[in-house]
Amino acid sequence: MYVKAGGWCRPKVAGAMFGVVVMAAVMSAAMPSTAIGATPDVLDRPALQSARAPMSVMLAVTRADKRIVAVGERGIALWSDDEGKTWQQAQVPVSVSLTNVRFADAKHGWAVGHSGVVLRSDDGGATWRKQLDGIQAAQLMLAAAKAGLPGAGRDAGTAVANAERLVKEGPGKPFLDVYAFDAQHALIVGAFGLAFTTQDGGTTWAPALDRLDNPQGKHLYAITAQGTRYVIAGEMGAVLSSTDSGHSFTPLTTPYEGSYFGALESAPGSMVVYGLRGNVFWSDDAGAHWQKSVLGTTGTITAGLRLASGKLVLLDDGGRVLVSDDGGRHFTLAPVPQAAPYTGIVQTSDGSLVLSGVRGMTRVAFDGSAKAK
């Protein structure tokens, strides 16, 4: 069954949105744009500087070489040069929630978020500048559709109408992830299957719907690199795979028709995908066949990481940390004091974990079990 959501014809999603604050940025993509659209004011108003910024709701964390960078609600971005022990707040030109962040190297990276915002940093996340927002993205989509460019959609007959709706509705649809191939090339994905790419460091952006075999416009939540393969995870069982450096993505068939929020490479040619209600699956043949992981929880898996040791770590919406040492076939609980819903994870040079979540940034000692430092 198809319904019109935010002006776009797309499949009806079964079930209510799960009420976890950490996933608000992700799940807001399923709400009408009038409910989440930002006014031009927050697109132009810099994020408020606050000594309590490290305790704000943080939605993602990544590495910029030795530096750790995190982003979250109301445009808050943080950076740490001491492996997450202390944090500095970055200068950000917008006040919308930032959903994800990636760096190509120690200096150059992008952050994306609500209202179609795309930010660029050239100093390791200390300062950011806006390269794109939903108003501009809609105009780019409309111009591409009228010119008959494939990036606006493979169906030329509906591309113009869809783009015109984007323009009419305003900057309501969030971008949910960005992948930095290098300092010049990046791919961003988001709600309703929106995708844009840059070839010049973000000076210009172009619609990239033709790269994705996603005719239903499913929400796309995460992009991961798995050796020479790139994988996009999304709603309604969407797992898209690219073996040509991200130039085209084709769907993989999985046993689950709900939302996936990410994927991990467990070994060359092997991967794990994770999502709603504890649904985690592993494959050792590049996604041709899948088996359900033994998890011991039905919590929604919000983030994951392959550690330097080869172990896999998953985080869920109840603040649980789950660990696998057999390629994702089985996961066991590693208790964390004062657990809170987590949204992102990186590993430090001493093996500790730095987690983003609803209570801000947390640093956790890790040796196969976990305890807070």
Does one domain contain both 64 and 155?
yes
Query: Closest Cα to residue 236, out of 253, 212, 224?
Result: 253
Q: Same domain for 194 and 305? A: no
Same domain, 75 and 184: yes
Per-residue pLDDT of 243-296, as tens digits, reads: 999 999 999 999 999 999 999 999 999 999 999 999 999 999 999 999 999 998
Distances (CA, A) of 238 to 37, 76, 210, 249, 252: 25, 30, 16, 11, 8
Give the whole-angstrom CA distance, residue 93 versus residue 274: 33
Domain end marker among 149, 177, 211? 211
Positive or negative, the CA dihedral 326, 257, 252, 235 is negative
Where residue 334 sits, what CATH number does that domain have? 2.40.10.500
Give CA–CA dist 29/27, Å, rounded. 5
> Residues 180, 329: one domain?
no
CA-to-CA separations, 232 to 16, 68, 251, in angstroms, rounded: 23, 23, 9
Q: Tell me how far apart the terminal alpha carbons of the chain are, to the nearest angstrom.
A: 49
* DSSP characters over 29-77: GGS-HHHHPPPHHHHHSPPPP-TTGGGS-EEEEEEETTEEEEEEGGG-E
In the DSSP assignment, the letter for residue 91 is B
On whether both 37 and 174 belong to a single domain, the answer is yes
Do residues 216 and 236 lie in contact, with contact meaning Cβ atoms separated by under 8 Å?
yes
In a domain, 47, yes or no: yes
How many other β-carbons are positioned within 10 Å of the β-carbon of residue 253? 10
Cβ 105 vs Cβ 65: under 8 Å? yes
- At a CB cut-off of 8 Å and minimum separation 6, what does 8 contact? 162, 165, 192, 217
CA distance 107 to 268: 28
In a domain, 341, yes or no: yes
Q: What pLDDT, on a 0 to 100 scale, did the predictor assign at position 351?
A: 92
| 53 in any annotated domain | yes
Q: Cα–Cα distance between 236 and 106 in angstroms, integer?
A: 35
- 194 shares its domain with 306: no
- The reply to whether 259 falls in a domain is no
Structure-token pair, residue 88: 């500095």
Q: How far is CA 173 from CA 6, 34, 38, 41, in A?
A: 9, 10, 9, 16
**Contact present, 323 and 311 (Cβ < 8 Å):** yes
**Is 78 within the bounds of a domain?**
yes
Domain at 54, CATH number: 2.120.10
Q: Could you tell me the two tokens for 328?
A: 């994702």
Residue 190 in domain: yes
Q: What is the DSSP string of 6-28?
A: TTEEEEPPPSPPP--GGGHHHHG
pLDDT at residue 40, as a whole number: 61
Domain count of the fold of the chain: 2
C-alpha 138/C-alpha 370 separation (Å) is: 45
Using the 3D structure, point to which of 157, 184, 211 is the last residue of a domain. 211
User: Is the distance from CB of 5 to CB of 32 less than 8 angstroms?
Assistant: yes
Rounded CA gap, 153 and 373, in Å? Answer: 49
Residue 153: CB atoms within 10 Å: 23
Contacts of 286 (CB under 8 A, 6+ apart): 229, 241, 269, 270, 271
Q: How many CA atoms lie within 13 A of 94 on its CB side?
A: 27
Same domain, 17 and 144: yes
Same structural domain for residues 169 and 29? yes
How far apart (Å, rounded) are the C-alpha atoms in residues 365 and 373? 6
Q: Rounded to whole angstroms, how far apart are CA atoms 25 and 43? A: 16
Give the angle subtended at the CA of 304 by the CAs of 281 and 291, to the nearest 5°: 10
Kindly give the confidence (pLDDT) of every residue in the chain, 373 residues in length, as a single tens digit, with 9 standing for 90 and above: 233 333 344 433 333 333 343 344 444 444 333 334 445 688 999 999 999 999 999 999 999 999 999 999 999 999 999 999 999 999 999 999 999 999 999 999 999 999 999 999 999 999 999 999 999 999 999 999 999 999 998 787 789 999 999 999 888 899 999 999 999 999 999 999 999 999 999 999 999 999 999 999 999 999 999 888 999 999 999 999 999 999 999 999 999 999 999 999 999 999 999 999 999 999 999 999 999 999 988 999 999 999 999 999 999 999 999 999 999 999 999 877 677 899 999 999 999 999 999 999 999 888 765 444 4
What are residue 160's phi and psi, to 5 degrees? -65, -45
Last residue within a domain, chosen from 142, 176, 211: 211
Query: Domain span at residue 39?
Result: 1-211
Q: Residues 6 or more apart from 51 whose CB is under 8 A from it?
A: none
The pTM for the full model equals 0.89
Q: What is the pLDDT of residue 156?
A: 78
